[in-house]
Structure 1
Amino acid sequence: MVKPRRSNDWGFPRWRGYGSAREATTVRLCDRHGCEEPGNCPAPKAPNSPERWMFCQKHAAEYNQKWDYFEGLDKAEKEARAQTERSENAGYAEAQHYGWSGSGDGSRSADEMRALEVLELEADVEFGAIKKAWREKVKKVHPDVKPGDKQAAAEFQKLQLAYEVLKSAEERREWRG
């Protein structure tokens, strides 16, 4: 006679984690040859096709890197689809300057304003002045200038982060045109 096994959850099934049932769970592997990661990111096999590849996140990004959304469409269809996309997404672009308590005029985000405070600059400063102020401050607290000084290292990291925030914002502005 086989003795019944006792459960590990003491009779409370909600104590088990999600997907921790006793039965084996089915995991679909990435469709990329040789990859053993779970394939949980769908990618279309062809434009306007319902069939999908299932890739891991790394291979899905690689697959979609050069994906042409308008492939196979003539010029009029491309323009119509692009116009539809712009009209459907216009609300997002229109509301983009309403960040989490930005500078007031919509020109800078709250993160940019905090970064400008770290560099002790005004909100309407040009990027050249930002770069100049950053260089002057970093020269004073650089780890090569003050080796072993933990407070200077923390200040250096804070200045670096502020500059990166402002630099990426400037690049986004240039990209938008």
Structure 2
Amino acid sequence: MVGARRSQDWGFPRWRGYGASREATTVRLCDRHGCEEPGNCPAPKSPNNPERWYFCQRHAAEYNSKWDYFEGLDKEEAAERARNEQRDNDGYASASHYGWGGSGDGSRSADEMRALELLQLDSDADFAAIKKAWRDMAKKVHPDVKPGDAAAAAEFQKLQLAYEVLRQAEERREWKG
């Protein structure tokens, strides 16, 4: 026991950093012949095949630039596959409206962001700025100022709706305190 040394890898937290062990770590090399870089970018060997090549970043870019998803298919089969892919991906596109609508801080809803855009304001505008912008824009297209102008009336309705959305949101914020 004279020369034995106790391991420092007991308990939590570890006393040495992860990956600082004395054992050799296995590094997967790039599958491109002659390349000695780490192969950490998976690339499919063929369409609809779970097997992958593992390339370094430089060779993965080269491989992807020459990748032909429709290789070996005739024109009709390629068109059918493209239609199926588009159909399957349309579900993701139709759900894109659930993403953040503005600054990304999550303090305003998508409707509020659209209303602010209509009033030509930034996403962090306070209610005083909202009210001022609404009044300035509404004065220009009010039905009393432009009687009989259908386009001005439609624009005024849009401004009214945007202001109502923002006013109600402000009231909710004040009520929550």
Normalised TM-score (structure 1): 0.47
Normalised TM-score (structure 2): 0.47
Indicate the structure (1 or 2) with the bigger Cα radius of gyration. Answer: 2
